[in-house]
């Protein structure tokens, strides 16, 4: 009897093992079923296979992770000040955050997208949108620094942004909130018909990436949520999801969910571009900031521009259509071939897929279902390619693996669902923890996805990590998608709330990542390239300190003759020409951040001493064996004091022979 029990037990255990092993489907997360740890382990000194750029959400920044390890390498300051890097604190970077509303120290960063050539990732720049005070930023992937920010006028809640066309001809910025155009003092209840939704097309110079607003398309006052460009055959078109086609202005959670279908707006931007190039459109007065960081002067400048080109859809017949799409669609995702446009109706029971070729045919055959503000509405059935039936609850965003499969996130049912393009059948579903927003497959919104990993970005984590009080982290979860079934490998915390992400093979970035700035190329207006050239100059109550730093001292490091009430500018140049030898600079009582200065770079801080005394300054970045010795003193005398202005190093003038 005992033996029989034992045998039964053995069989049960065996069948359990068999069950968990079958077809690599690891529903059981045990070590028996999976080698997940091995798949994400990147040994010390080894590199990750992919870079992942995750939006920092309400931190306003952009986080750089490695995949598959999930290790955080850098947080790139974009729309928010960052005392760690002096971004928005140093005189050189303050102009980056200038807007028509003045200096803005924060924003809500949303959707990073990597530049493309011929529909494939080229790894030159990442673009990202600021949602609150509408802006688009460009990050240079040689320096991993924000090098350009352009404000979007006539816009509010810059959400259906910052996606690029196949050759990065344009980066687009669509407004989530419609607003009066032009802005004016008017009753909110007169919203309907009077508010407008601007879709902004920003051209990108193929040589240097310089951004310029080419035109703004003034659309009806709906909410424009997300967008993606056509590719392949549909290159030349751009698709935007809309919600609130009801044009409600209050309690949108109810009032914007009345219509059975909202729209995907299909915009033939090539047609509009041609119209603009032929002199079309109306120049209208406005105000927006255009901020550019110059790598040679290590300095940003901000210019306020006062004109923008406005296009009305009726100006360019045949350029704008609406495709009805059920229930407040969020994601608007185009498959790698460019044929399918997936609209994720947040509240819809199914996932709607439109066909680009059917859309063209419907336009040709004028299969319209009336119009909205003069814009033809295509018949729903005429553009429909198919629908994924009962895929989950609350679809949000879809990406593609390049092997004929699509992956969609479902916020309400908290899962990622894999389905097949063309047959629309559901192939796999995996829970995520919890309430996923967007997902990312490296290259998953391009012509050439790298379908190895999928990152799901979750809004809610509750009990997933060690608790940290009421505020807990958001998370990313990594899946292996090389098999028939998805396999969760890793779970890692993120900064802010990652709304969206872009990934790219590391080998497209690594070889061109910058190591140092050449001192000889430094054209900063206050650079000093040798210790002997260091100096301190008084001009009224302004004192300019032109200082150098090299392991392990400042020149000069003793300054006297400063007075209470002076405004002291420290222009500090790092003379190092060696990789990974930044120096920092901080002075007691400075009402700003430290400076963090890369080799060959110059940065400036302002210090306004309020107290008489002798005050130290020091290097904040552990630079060398004698880092702790890298310090200096500045003597502050009462206003009107006779103490002469002197500056020395080791008791002598800096240029003493």
Partner 1 sequence: MKKINLTISLLAVLALFMVSCNGGEKKPSATETETQTETAPAKQGQAAVVDTVSAANALQVAKSLDDFKTLVAAIEAAGIEDAVVNAGPLTVFAPVNGAFDKLPAGTLDDLLKPENKSKLAFILTNHVAPANYPEKQLKKEAEKGRKLYMASGKYLTVEVKEDGIYVGGTKILKSVKVSNGWIHVIDNVLVPAE
**Shorter beta-carbon distance to partner 1: residue 266 or 572:** 572
Strand 415-420 to strand 98-99: parallel, antiparallel, or no bridges (unpaired)?
Answer: unpaired
Contacting partner 1 (CB under 8 A), which of 10, 186, 233, 304? 10
Contacting partner 1 (CB under 8 A), which of 248, 472, 581, 606? 581
Which of 91, 88, 102, 202 lies closest to 145, judged by CA? Answer: 88
Task: For the CB of residue 2, give the shortest distance to partner 1 in the complex, in Å.
Answer: 9
Does 296 bind partner 1 (CB under 8 A)? Our answer is no
Helical H segments across 330-375, by residue range: 356-364
Contacting partner 1 (CB under 8 A), which of 118, 186, 233, 510? 510
Within 10 A of 469 (CB to CB), how many other CB atoms are there?
A: 5
- The whole-angstrom separation of Cα 25 and Cα 364 is 47
Build a one-symbol-per-residue string for 522-561: x at contacts with partner 1 by CB under 8 A, - elsewhere. ----------------------------xxxx--------
Contacting partner 1 (CB under 8 A), which of 208, 303, 507, 628? 507
Which residue shows structure tokens 């997936």?
Answer: 342
Within 10 A of 35 (CB to CB), how many other CB atoms are there?
A: 13
Task: For the CB of residue 45, give the shortest distance to partner 1 in the complex, in Å.
Answer: 4
Within 10 A of 548 (CB to CB), how many other CB atoms are there?
A: 25
Q: What are the Cα distances from residue 349, in Å, to 380, 393, 395?
A: 16, 7, 9
Build a one-symbol-per-residue string for 621-640: x at contacts with partner 1 by CB under 8 A, - elsewhere. --xxxx--------------
Contacting partner 1 (CB under 8 A), which of 1, 4, 18, 251? 18
Does 145 bind partner 1 (CB under 8 A)? Our answer is no
Tell me phi and psi for residue 7, to 5 degrees. -65, -40
Task: For the CB of residue 35, give the shortest distance to partner 1 in the complex, in Å.
Answer: 5
Within 10 A of 286 (CB to CB), how many other CB atoms are there?
A: 19
Task: For the CB of residue 53, give the shortest distance to partner 1 in the complex, in Å.
Answer: 16
Contacting partner 1 (CB under 8 A), which of 47, 73, 465, 633? 47
Q: Three-class SS of residue 590?
A: coil
Does 653 bind partner 1 (CB under 8 A)? Our answer is no
Q: Are 227 and 174 in contact (CB under 8 A)?
A: yes
Q: What are the Cα distances from residue 55, in Å, to 64, 77, 128, 324?
A: 9, 11, 8, 30
Does 266 bind partner 1 (CB under 8 A)? Our answer is no
**Shorter beta-carbon distance to partner 1: residue 320 or 630:** 630
- The whole-angstrom separation of Cα 548 and Cα 544 is 13
Does 29 bind partner 1 (CB under 8 A)? Our answer is no
Which strands form 72-76's sheet, in the order they lie side by side?
A: 72-76, 62-67, 50-55, 501-505
Return the residues of window 450-479 that contact partner 1 according to CB under 8 A.
Answer: 450-452
**Shorter beta-carbon distance to partner 1: residue 185 or 520:** 520
Does 657 bind partner 1 (CB under 8 A)? Our answer is yes
Residues lying near partner 1 in the complex (CB under 8 A) are found at: 3, 6-7, 10, 13-14, 17-18, 21, 24, 32-35, 38, 45-50, 402, 442, 450-452, 482-483, 487, 505-507, 510-511, 514-516, 550-553, 576-579, 581, 599, 623-626, 650, 652, 657
């Amino acid at each position: 009897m005992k033996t029989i029990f034992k045998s039964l037990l053995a069989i049960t255990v065996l069948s359990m093992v068999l069950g968990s092993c079958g077809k690599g489907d690891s529903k059981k997360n045990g070590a028996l079923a999976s080698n997940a740890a091995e798949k994400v382990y990147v040994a010390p000194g080894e590199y990750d296979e992919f870079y992942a750029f995750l939006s920092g959400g309400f931190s306003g920044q952009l986080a750089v992770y490695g995949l598959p390890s999930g290790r955080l390498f850098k947080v790139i300051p974009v729309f928010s000040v960052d005392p760690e890097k002096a971004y928005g604190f140093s005189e050189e970077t303050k102009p980056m955050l200038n807007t028509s509303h003045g200096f803005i120290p924060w924003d809500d960063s949303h959707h990073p997208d990597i530049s493309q050539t011929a529909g494939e990732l080229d790894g030159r720049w990442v673009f990202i949108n600021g949602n609150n005070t509408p802006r688009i930023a460009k990050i240079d992937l040689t320096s991993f620094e924000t090098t350009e920010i352009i404000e979007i006028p006539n816009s509010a809640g810059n959400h259906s942004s910052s996606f690029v066309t196949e050759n990065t001809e344009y980066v687009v910025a669509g407004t989530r909130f419609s607003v009066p155009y032009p802005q004016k003092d008017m009753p909110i209840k007169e919203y309907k018909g009077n508010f407008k939704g601007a879709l902004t097309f920003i051209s990108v110079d193929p040589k240097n990436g310089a951004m310029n607003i080419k035109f703004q398309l003034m659309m009806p006052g709906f909410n424009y949520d997300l967008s993606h460009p056509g590719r392949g055959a549909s290159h030349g078109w751009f698709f935007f999801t809309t919600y609130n086609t009801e044009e409600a202005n209050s309690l949108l959670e109810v009032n914007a969910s009345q219509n059975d279908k909202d729209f995907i707006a299909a915009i033939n931007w090539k047609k509009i571009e041609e119209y603009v190039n032929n002199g079309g459109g109306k120049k209208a007065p406005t105000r927006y900031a255009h901020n550019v960081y110059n790598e040679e002067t290590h300095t940003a400048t901000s210019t306020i521009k006062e004109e923008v080109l406005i296009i009305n859809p009726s100006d360019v017949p045949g350029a704008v259509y609406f495709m009805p799409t059920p229930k407040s669609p969020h994601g608007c995702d185009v498959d790698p071939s460019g044929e399918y446009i997936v609209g994720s109706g947040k509240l819809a029971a199914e996932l709607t897929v439109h066909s680009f070729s059917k859309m063209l045919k419907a336009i040709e055959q004028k299969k319209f279902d009336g119009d909205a503000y003069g814009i033809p509405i295509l018949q729903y059935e005429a553009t429909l390619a198919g629908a994924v039936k009962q895929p989950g609850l609350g679809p949000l965003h879809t990406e593609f693996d390049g092997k004929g499969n699509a992956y969609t996130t479902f916020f309400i049912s908290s899962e990622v669902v894999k389905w097949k393009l063309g047959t629309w059948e559901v192939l796999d579903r995996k829970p995520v923890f919890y309430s996923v927003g967007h997902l990312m497959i490296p290259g998953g919104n391009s012509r050439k996805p790298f379908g190895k990993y999928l990152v799901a970005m979750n809004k809610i984590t509750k009990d997933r990590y060690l608790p940290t009080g009421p505020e807990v982290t958001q998370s990313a979860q990594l899946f292996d998608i090389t098999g028939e079934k998805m396999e969760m490998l890793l779970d890692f915390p993120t900064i802010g709330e990652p709304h969206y992400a872009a990934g790219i093979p590391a080998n497209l970035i690594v070889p061109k990542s910058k190591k140092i700035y050449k001192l000889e190329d430094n054209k900063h207006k206050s650079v000093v390239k040798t210790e002997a050239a260091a100096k301190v100059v008084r001009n009224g109550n302004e004192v300019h300190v032109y200082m150098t730093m090299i392991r392990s001292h400042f020149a000069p490091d003793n300054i006297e003759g400063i007075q209470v009430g002076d405004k002291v500018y420290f222009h500090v140049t790092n003379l190092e020409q060696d990789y990974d030898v930044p120096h920092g600079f901080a002075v007691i009582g400075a009402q700003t951040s430290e400076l963090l200065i890369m080799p060959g770079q110059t940065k400036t801080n302002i210090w306004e001493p309020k107290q008489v005394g002798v005050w130290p300054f020091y290097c904040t970045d552990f630079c060398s064996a004698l880092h702790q010795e890298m310090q200096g003193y500045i003597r502050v005398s009462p206003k009107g004091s006779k103490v002469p202005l002197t500056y020395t190093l080791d008791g002598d003038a800096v240029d003493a022979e």
